[in-house]
Structure 1
Amino acid sequence: MIAAVSVAMVLTPTMASATHPEVSLAGSNFEIDTDANIKVDDPAPSIDWASVNETRKEDTASGQSDESFGQGSKEDTAVPSVVDGGIPPNKSDLKWFGVYQEGNTSTGFLNLFWSRVQDPSGTTNMDFEFNQSSTLSTNGITPVRTAGDLLIIYDLSQGGTKPQLSIRTWTGSAWGTPTNLTSSNLATGSINTLSIPAGEADGLGAHSARTFGEAQVKLSALFPNPNVCAGFGAAYLKSRSSDSFTAALKDFVPPVAVNISNCGGVKIIKKDDTGAALAGAEFTLYKDNAPVGGSRGAEDTITTQKCTTAANGECTIGNVLAGEYWVVETVTPPNHDTAADQHATVTADATVTLTFIDPRQRGAILVTKVRKHAAAGPGDHPHAGVDFTVNGVTKTTGANGKACFDNLAMGSYTVHEVTPANYVGEADKNVTVDNKANCTDNPYAGETVTFTNTPLSKITVTFESQVPGGTAATIACTGLTATPPDGTPSDFDDTSETFQDLVPGTYTCTVVVDP
């Protein structure tokens, strides 16, 4: 079995110039050959099955394991019975089917092919069923039918070579009235009247005459309402025993996943300025009305389509009608700047991927340093020349006693003071930065912290005998320890004692003179 992913292609304005007979619909570059084949016969931009990556499914080989529909199964049977080994070759034993979407729904086409083991006698009928749901029914093989599913019917009456194509829609309980696509020029098709050698079959194997057929249907026939999203996630091919729609179903090629839609999607990847995934960002689509492009304006209208990024920083807005849109970040994760709008051109059966970067917001800490200074008057006064360190960066207070640190990511920081000599400083302070700010803001909107320095004093008490050697003294200040210049402890025959590093306060000193 060979399976490939379907690819949506944008059509060129002109159709390929055919050098051999084709029945392709106007506007298509896909070769629906008068004598159906698989290879590309014309120059670019012509394409054929051998040059595209269609979704392709092979049937189980003929024999006891080949699936077929059980007795009594008809097209209107919502859940047909499935049996093995019930299809003899003369009953249109199927081999392959393929699906390829070309372009979008306004100008595009759905191309199909089928192949079978041999040309049966009599009427040949192939039906391509397209299901919106890929959930399996109770038979475990065919998908659950949903109202709006489609059946494209490929009829070759009485051994004919020119197929007639029609389409029916599932009503919820039966297939509705058929619409003839061939007569309305919405579809075309052909079969091979000559054999196809294996070397020209793109892996499908050699085909004898009348065992390969192809068809082309305008996507607008599948999606008649351009304002309603619709899509099909599974498809399969089956055969009927006669041209009567109520005839028994015979062989089928099991369903394969497809992605055929008149809508697209927008995938959003959200990161911060470090490249880390960012969750919790909501994005909303705005319809970009004329004039298209430029920047989002008052004429552009909001839609109800939105998504919110998950832990991996991604989300997808699905079922977006083809058209021009603005993708707008409408909820921004805390402590991040909102990303600019981005324009998206959405096409059918395709997903646009956009990456948005939300820079982390930055804050600032303004440090104010004050001191007591009697000569300058009462109260606190700016203290210049004091060093502070935040996040490994050191700054010095200016004449106004201030030092400012910015470009700080949101979070908690420790502010450390290098206490100047002869002052009592303060311990480190923790500051939480949670406001977007810059040191140059006016007015300043960031975090603030104040450190107060207390100047230190020293007391020197001096004793001197007026008669040399006549008296001795001891000097003591309550609660203080003297620090003599030589660094030795004070004794009981002091002539001078110094007590230093004193904060403002009241001190009591006693001098005892011994005559």
Structure 2
Amino acid sequence: MFQSQGSGGRAGQGPTRRAVALGAGAVLVFSGLLAAVPAVASHPEVSLAGSNFEIDTNANLKQDDPSPSIDWASVSEIRKQDSPSGQNDESFGNGTKEDTAVPSVVDGGVPPNKSDLKFFGVYQEGTGSAGFLNLFWSRVQDPSGTTNMDFEFNQSQTASGNGVTPVRTAGDLLIQYDLSNGGVNPTISISRWLTSGTKADCEASNTLPCWSKKTLIGGSDAAGSINSSLIAAADADGLGSLDPRTFGEAQLRLSALFPPGSCFAFGSAYLKSRSSDTFSSALKDFVPPTPVNITNCGSVRIVKTDDLNAPLAGAEFTLYKDNAPIGGTRGAEDTITTQKCTTVADGTCTIGSVLAGEYWVVETVTPPGHDTAADQHATVVGGVTTPVTLTFVDPRQRGAILVTKTRKHAASGSGNHPQSGVTFTLTGGTTGVTDANGQVCFDNLLFGNYSVTETVPAGYTADGATAKTVAVNNKAACGATPYVGETVAFGNTPLTNLSVSVDSQIDGGTASTIVCTGPNGQVASGSTGSTGDGSAAASDLKPGIYTCTIDIDP
């Protein structure tokens, strides 16, 4: 085990180190925590307890201790380089101060004896209350007097009227790194951009908007240092050789940067230098803004599909705070929030700016024709820019069609009676046969229109159409009590054959004609031949009054 040397070491603290390396990219991305590994520094450091990042008493960039220790040379931080010194080096001019809402940007305005900046870097280690924000700056030369560096973090990436620095938004953050002449440990404080309140809330300005009064970040939440000796180019991680007092670094606990109970997401950062330790003094050089992604909150992304994995639009989801006891199922103790979203055509939506904590994600509006998905639990970690993604499946609802079949049957009495054994065919070819109650039921039917077709039994005629269209739009199942699905009825009437004949007792003795009429006119006719015998017949007659007239001629 390595032991700390010097008063700046961490001997006795035994910090838990969590390293989160960033990929090479244009924005700072919060990553999940890695496994905790205890480590103790082998050289003087002022790193905060719980951090693996080496904030060296004599600031440098190289990793001095074995892993899990990290330093600038072993991580992929967000790094921004200033324009080379000279007439094209952008700077602040025309008396621009920290409270100037839209700073005046000029070129070549940094006198040689002021802080001519070279680089700044930003690296986040860990997330939420266990995370740290690490910063560095470098400059061309050590000016006389104090060192005053301000890191500004803006929520917006939209350029202000100067076309360079971002528009300021209420709650933007100013981290101030102040080092007295000859000192090695800076004073670190923060201010927030105010757009409301009173001028008494301002650090220096007599009008709003302004930067709030400084809040000194205590020793347990912030640390920093400057290089007191030369950093050779080989050890400078691409910054070039650094003379004493031209490189400084700082570390702040993330939990100290954000007001409790409020969500902030910073999308841009830049570094600037002041001409003196007076907050209202003029600003000089600055390193232009670069995109970052620093937030104390998280988000929940919802993917909504049906049971065929097709996206579903129009589903609303609401966050409920999961109060103790955590997990299990949502209960009366869990409280609804105002945070919600509704899925769009691709079946997704995102609830953003979610404070770290435990939540239930509840489907509060379900698309028509679908079943509501069960609640899901979400643990939101502050500062993780990758959203918690949950997939909800709303099965398509299904319905049923109950077919009732009746017939007329004189032997059973008047009226309609159940008819068994009749076959019905549903759209798609599914068939069913009526039972003793004259019923057959089709279920597990997706919503839509279906054709129900009867195969009419021999000896009967259908009382109406043999194919009927049924719209299924109610969730139902066969056998459920009460049955709430669709219904359709069919009726049959039995048919009768009619036959009338004449037989002349004396061949050729009589000649006859037969005419039978029914409800719709003549149904049968006939006449005798040479023998005087003849008949008339009709088939498949519906019930009714039929009259047969027989004319017998001698």
- Give TM-score, length-normalised by structure 1: 0.90
In the alignment, which residue of structure 1 is the partner of 2:309?
275
Listed one character per residue, the Cα deviations across residues 189-248 of structure 1 (whole Å, up to 9, x for unaligned) are 2234332545862xx44342344332101222212x422333323221112233332332
Deviation, 1:110, is 1.3
In structure 2, the residue matched to 1:370 is: 406
For residue 346 of structure 1, report the CA deviation from its aligned partner: 0.8
SS for the counterpart of 1:444 is coil
Q: Which of 467, 470, 490 is the equivalent residue of 1:451? A: 490
TM-fit CA distance, 1:50: 4.3
SS at match of 1:106: helix
Match of 2:448 in 1: 411
Per-residue CA deviation, residues 106-155 of structure 1 (Å, 9 max, x unaligned), is 33221112233444455432210112333332212222223332211122
Is the contact between residue 364 and residue 438 of structure 1 (CA under 8 Å) also seen in structure 2?
yes
Query: How far did residue 75 of structure 1 move?
Result: 1.1
Q: How does 1:11-22 map to 2 (within 5 A)?
A: 15-22=38-45
State the AA in 1 paired with 2:150: D
**1:463 and 2:483 equivalent?**
no
Query: Whole-Å Cα distance in 1 between the matches of residues 61 and 513 of structure 2?
Result: 120
| Residues 1:222 and 2:261 are matched in the alignment | no
Which is further off, 294-303 or 335-344?
Answer: 294-303
What is the CA–CA distance in structure 2 between the aligned matches of 1:499 and 1:396, rounded to whole Å? 31
**Equivalent residue, structure 1, for 2:515:** 476
Percent sequence identity over aligned pairs: 66
Instruction: State yes or no: 1:264 paired with 2:303.
Output: no
In the alignment, structure 1 residue 348 sits paired with structure 2 residue 382: yes
Amino acid at match of 1:444: Y
- What is the alpha-carbon distance in structure 1 between the residues aligned to residue 512 and residue 60 of structure 2? 126
For the pair 1:505 / 2:528, whether they are aligned, the reply is: no
From 57, 65, 68, the counterpart of 1:42: 65
Query: What is aligned with 1:300?
Result: 334
Aligned-partner Cα distance in 1 for 2:25–2:315: 41
Shift of 1:71: 2.6
Tell me the equivalent position of 2:344: 310
Counterpart amino acid of residue 212 in structure 1: F
* Worse-matched range after superposition: 348-357 or 33-42: 33-42
Contact map agreement 1:11 1:108 (CA 8 A) in 2: no
Q: Is contact 1:13–1:27 with CA below 8 Å preserved after alignment?
A: no
Relative distance call for 1:435 and 1:22 in structure 2 (3 A) is: same
1:344 and 1:396 mapped to 2: Cα distance? 50
Give yes or no for the alignment of 1:102 onto 2:125.
Answer: yes
After superposition, residues 51-66 of structure 1 pair within 5 angstroms as: 51-66=74-89
Q: CA deviation at 1:367?
A: 0.5
- Check conservation: 2:400, 2:485, Cα contact below 8 A: yes
- For the residue of structure 1 that corresponds to 2:256, the secondary structure is helix
What is the CA distance between 1:11 and its match in structure 2?
Answer: 6.7
Question: Counterpart amino acid of 2:355?
Answer: L
Counterpart of 2:284 in structure 1 is 250
Shift of 1:18: 2.2
Of 127, 132, 150, the match for 2:155? 132
Q: Would you identify which runs of 4 or more consecutive aligned residues in structure 1 move more than 6 Å?
A: none
Given the alignment of the two structures, is residue 382 of structure 1 paired with residue 418 of structure 2, yes or no?
A: yes
**Shift of residue 371 of structure 1?**
0.8
Secondary structure (helix, strand or coil) at the match of 2:411 reads helix
Secondary structure of the equivalent of 1:340? Answer: coil
User: How far, CA to CA, are the matches of 1:66 and 1:456 in structure 2?
Assistant: 105
Report the Cα offset of residue 265 of structure 1.
1.6
Call closer, same or farther: CA 1:119–1:382 in 2, change over 3 Å: same
2:175 maps to: 152
Name the aligned partner's letter for residue 191 of structure 1: I
Measure how far apart 1:353 and its partner are: 1.2
Q: Partners in 2 of 1:309 and 1:391 — Cα distance?
A: 33
Deviation at 1:63, TM superposition (A): 4.6
Partner of 2:102: 79
Letter in 2 for 1:422: G
Letter in 1 for 2:452: V
Per-residue CA deviation, residues 386-421 of structure 1 (Å, 9 max, x unaligned), is 111223211111121111010011222111112222
- Any conservation in 1 of the 2:177–2:187 contact (CA below 8 Å)? yes
2:110, 2:508 → 1: CA distance? 138
Please name the residue that 2:222 is paired with: 187
Instruction: Specify the alignment match of 1:231 in structure 2.
Output: 265
Which amino acid is the alignment partner of residue 445 of structure 2?
L
After TM superposition, the structure 1 = structure 2 runs for residues 391-410 of structure 1, keeping only pairs within 5 Å, are 391-392=427-428, 393-410=430-447
SS of corresponding position for 2:353: strand
Is 2:453 aligned against 1:421?
no
TM-aligned CA deviation for residue 358 of structure 1:
1.1
Counterpart amino acid of 1:357?
V
Residue 189 (structure 2) aligned to one of 149, 166, 171: 166
Q: From the superposition, tell whether residues 199 and 405 of structure 1 become closer, same or farther in structure 2 (CA, over 3 Å).
A: farther
Change (3 A) 1:471 1:198: farther
CA change 1:63–1:390 in 2 (3 A) is farther
In 2, the alpha carbon distance for the partners of 1:20 and 1:152 equals: 27
Kept after mapping to 2: 8 A contact 1:9/1:102: no
Q: Structure 1 residues 457-466 or 35-44, which shifts more?
A: 35-44
Structure 1 residue 342, shift from structure 2 partner: 0.9
Say if 1:6 and 1:54, in contact at 8 Å, map to a contact too. Answer: no
Judged with a 3 Å threshold, the aligned counterparts in structure 2 of structure 1 residues 121 and 141 are, in CA distance, closer, same or farther, namely same
Whether the 8 Å CA contact 1:198–1:205 is kept in 2: the answer is: no
Q: Give 1:384's aligned amino acid.
A: S
Kept in 1, the 8 Å contact 2:527–2:535? The answer is no
Decide whether aligned partners of structure 1 residues 498 and 300 sit closer, same or farther in structure 2, where only a CA change above 3 A counts. same
Q: Aligned equivalents of 1:480 and 1:63: distance in 2?
A: 116
The runs of 5 or more residues in structure 1 that have no matched partner are 484-489
Aligned partners of 2:151 and 2:175 also within 8 Å? yes
CA contact (8 A) 2:230 2:243 kept: yes
State how far apart, in whole Å, the 2-side matches of 1:259 and 1:496 are.
102
**Number of residues of Structure 1 aligned to a counterpart in Structure 2:** 505
- Contact map agreement 2:408 2:414 (CA 8 A) in 1: yes
Distance 1:418 1:65 in 2: 91
Residues 244-253 or 403-412, more deviating: 244-253
Residue 378 of structure 1 and its aligned partner are, at CA, apart by 1.0
Q: 1:33 matched to which residue of 2?
A: 56
1:174 Cα deviation from its structure 2 partner: 2.3
Q: d(CA) in 2 for partners of 1:252 and 1:311?
A: 45
For each residue in 1:60-84, what CA deviation from the matched residue of structure 2 results, as whole angstroms up to 9, or x when unmatched?
Answer: 3445443221231111211111123
Question: 2:27, 2:292 within 8 Å by CA — same for their partners in 1?
Answer: no
TM-score by length of 2: 0.84
Asked if 1 retains the 8 angstrom alpha-carbon contact of 2:313 and 2:346, the reply is: yes
CA 1:32/1:9 → structure 2, altered by over 3 Å: closer, same or farther?
A: farther
Aligned to 1:359: 395
